[in-house]
Structure 1
């Protein structure tokens, strides 16, 4: 403690963090944390190329595809999707990635950290994207639309499954007979008609009576 005084509670709270070391504001790209939100906003410029954001200009262009971005660093990360380079390595497992934000997100697998909470229910997520998808359960938002019949879905994967009803695609095949299905769950249900143990996507399913 010290003799610091302030007429504003918010300013005093910020000052107290200089003693406690608390850093509640975190960068959503890397591990950077700060005691003040303004410090994180300033830090984000190193990731986002803020100089170009206000103009809408994306001066950095990939020479392989049509990808454009406001940040030279983002372009470097994107190019790794073409080269296959994965310089960022987890120090707890064999996970490797070409995107530093991907490594930051992966680390939560080991820590179990779930900092993103739903304001409506008890759902928590390790990644902001997962929370965004979850919130559609409450809002009813369905941003993915079938271009054949107008079907709408809250998840891209659900739309992909739906499109198989139009294409007739059935990627899940029974190894014991000619049965095919568009969904893995349908194949699992079908396998119960067979008595022998069979394998689905590397998983052994034993359907014999114990």
Structure 2
């Protein structure tokens, strides 16, 4: 792993998990999201429940079953639960991925990694 392991730890420390694991820290400031189809309210801190509802809500009209996950708030739809979770951050305003070297925060792990690369927040590989 060499120095790369240190960079991975730098990014992962703020997210509560390894940078490449796809995990995040969860909601910082929980709020209610209301399903525009059935009007049920779900806490934004419980992403698994929201994603489950986005796949199982019987009030949603599913035109294309390849896109199993439909956003409760807007018209976004996805074939992937992971992409749906990432999309939900746009509604909650949550930015769980924080740089260890500055105040930069992002709702996407790849944006944090790009930030670290552009701003030389990574170790030089020898």
Does TM, scored on the shorter chain, surpass 0.5? no
**TM-score normalised according to structure 2 size:** 0.45
Give me the TM-score of the superposition, normalised by structure 1.
Answer: 0.28
Q: Pick the structure with greater CA Rg.
A: 1
Higher relative contact order (CA 8 A, sep 6+): 2
More helix as a share of residues: 1
